[in-house]
Amino acid sequence: MSSVKLEENSIFNQLSACGHQKVVFCNDDYTGLKAIIAIHDTTLGPAIGGTRMWSYKTEQDALNDVLRLSQAMTYKAAITGLNLGGGKAVIIGDSRTDKSEAMMRRFGRFIEDLNGTFITAAEVGTGTKDMEYIRMETEYVTGVPESVGGSGDPSPITARGVFMGIKACVKELFGTDSLAGRIVAVQGAGHVGEYLVSLLRAENAKVYVSDINEERLGKVAKRYGAEVVNNNQLFDLDFDVYAPCALGATVNSETIGKMKCSIVAGSANNQLADEKIDGQLLLDKGILYAPDYLINAGGLINCYSEIAGYNKKRTMQLADNIYEATREVLKKSKAEKIPTSLAANKIAEKRIQDIKKIKSTY
Ligand SMILES: NC(=O)c1ccc[n+]([C@@H]2O[C@H](COP(=O)([O-])OP(=O)(O)OC[C@H]3O[C@@H](n4cnc5c(N)ncnc54)[C@H](O)[C@@H]3O)[C@@H](O)[C@H]2O)c1
């Protein structure tokens, strides 16, 4: 324990509060690059996480965001059984006007300096083209286009993981994981939503689908034989599974009050508006919630596969493992009478502690 006295709002205190290992501030006046790379935990392997480019109002906002997001990546990798740690990067700026090839390549050189302890991918405000620029300066980047040896669109893998999460919940409640005759409401007919609808329909589930993009909604519904429903009236309907595949925070005290379903399982990030309050509300109401960061881990699995040498069959297998991982979370939640979100966090933390212990021997 250090005897150094730190100011109340010191960065070191902030790092200690969430257990971060390292934060790197990257500055380059020529390209205008101002980035922060946060490495949360590398017990399980190199820290992986996307690079977000955003017009943060203050440096502190950027730091808060990168610390929060990198910690979440540690949990996601741990619970999915991947040998990866958690990290994240943010670039401060407007991705539409401030980005350039030189800036992204300079950022790639900062990543290279970290010698493989941090691997990045595309996130909000960055895309495959940016990853290609970063790749020119470092090999520690994933999510480059298929044409240059990458793994391409992760959405089919993400949908597969969500499908497995739904099946695990259905098994828990109904004793069989067959979806034939079950009713699933998919909110959001985008990349993941469309693949999910196709998997559900292939197993003869009845599917309601909603989206604010009418054209896309109509196309997806027609292609797979799903029923279009009004997004605002979704919770008036009776269905077994609510699959949020559009926005976060759609599971909150108001919507939980209206829900008639018995399962919540979808791809959207941060589905619970307040993890503690809403996790408990769902538990009290007897609604099974498949933690979002577990069942939407397909994107991360895709990146992992890219690092290990892409193999489609192996990648699908890893996504299928989400079934057993979800079963384990549900079992723990039931045994300890705790929300599934908390059960998932505990399982992730235990895996990290266990591996830390075995690595401590010479
Ligand atoms: N693509 C992936 O591999 C992946 C991985 C992990 C998590 N996710 C998360 O899953 C969700 C869906 O991702 P995606 O790649 O399919 O995105 P997408 O942008 O392709 O699709 C989102 C869809 O939701 C619709 N939508 C937006 N607001 C809506 C609203 N209020 N009500 C209903 N529909 C609405 C949009 O019109 C769009 O069709 C996002 O939250 C994303 O962060 C995606």
Residues 239 and 229: their CA atoms lie apart, in Å, by: 12
Going by alpha carbons, the residue nearest to atom 18 of ligand 1 is: 190
Across the beta sheet with 183-187, the strand order is 227-228, 206-210, 183-187, 241-244, 263-264, 288-289
12 falls within a domain: no
Share of the chain above pLDDT 90, in %: 86
Q: Is 185 found in the same domain as 286?
A: yes
Q: Tokens 């559009």, residue?
A: 246
pLDDT band per the 50, 70, 90 thresholds, residue 177: very high
For the Cβ of 219 lying below 6 angstroms from any atom of ligand 1, the answer is: no
Residue that finishes a domain, picked among 148, 175, 201: 148
> Can 337 be counted among the known catalytic residues?
no
For the Cβ of 80 lying below 6 angstroms from any atom of ligand 1, the answer is: no
For the Cβ of 138 lying below 6 angstroms from any atom of ligand 1, the answer is: no
Q: Average pLDDT, stretch 117-122?
A: 95
At residue 152, the pLDDT reads 75
Q: Is 174 found in the same domain as 48?
A: no
At residue 362, the pLDDT reads 73
Q: Is 39 found in the same domain as 139?
A: yes
pLDDT, tens only, 307-324: 888 788 899 999 999 999
CATH of the domain at 322: 3.40.50.720
For the Cβ of 267 lying below 6 angstroms from any atom of ligand 1, the answer is: yes
Cα 288–Cα 243–Cα 164 angle in degrees, nearest 5: 70
At residue 218, the pLDDT reads 97
Residue 1 has pLDDT above 60, yes or no: no
329 falls within a domain: yes
Q: Average pLDDT, stretch 86-103?
A: 97
Q: Is 144 found in the same domain as 56?
A: yes
At residue 163, the pLDDT reads 98
As given in the structure block, the two tokens for residue 36 are 């922060």
Residue that finishes a domain, picked among 97, 131, 148: 148
Residues 155 and 314: their CA atoms lie apart, in Å, by: 16
Kindly list the distances between the CA atom of residue 177 and the CA atoms of 42, 211, 286, in Å, as whole numbers in the listed order: 35, 27, 19
Q: Is 142 found in the same domain as 165?
A: no
Q: Is 45 found in the same domain as 187?
A: no
**Residues across the chain:** 362
Residue 148 has pLDDT above 80, yes or no: no
pLDDT band per the 50, 70, 90 thresholds, residue 2: low
- Ligand 1 atom closest to the Cα of residue 250 is 31
Q: Tokens 């906002």, residue?
A: 61
At residue 360, the pLDDT reads 81
Catalytic annotation, pick one of 34, 76, 88, 167: 88
Residue that finishes a domain, picked among 148, 170, 192: 148
2 falls within a domain: no
Q: Is 274 found in the same domain as 161?
A: yes
pTM of the model: 0.91
Q: Average pLDDT, stretch 246-251?
A: 93
Exposed, middle or buried by CB within 10 Å (0-12, 13-18, 19+), for 198?
A: middle
Q: Pick 10 or 347 by higher pLDDT.
A: 347
For the Cβ of 202 lying below 6 angstroms from any atom of ligand 1, the answer is: no
The closest of 192, 195, 236, 228 to 212, measured between CA atoms, is 228
268 CA from centroid of ligand 1 (Å) = 7
Share of the chain above pLDDT 70, in %: 99
Q: Average pLDDT, stretch 13-23?
A: 93
Q: Is 258 found in the same domain as 177?
A: yes
Q: Is 205 found in the same domain as 123?
A: no
Residue 294 has pLDDT above 80, yes or no: yes
241 falls within a domain: yes
Task: Please give the tally of structural domains in the chain.
Answer: 2
Q: Note the helical H segments in the chain.
A: 11-18, 59-79, 101-113, 128-135, 155-174, 191-202, 214-224, 253-258, 275-285, 292-295, 298-308, 312-320, 322-336, 340-359
Provide the residue range defining the domain that includes 323.
155-350
DSSP label at residue 226: P
pLDDT, tens only, 62-77: 999 999 999 999 999 9
* Mean pLDDT over the full length of the chain: 94
Q: Is 209 found in the same domain as 94?
A: no
At residue 61, the pLDDT reads 94
362 falls within a domain: no
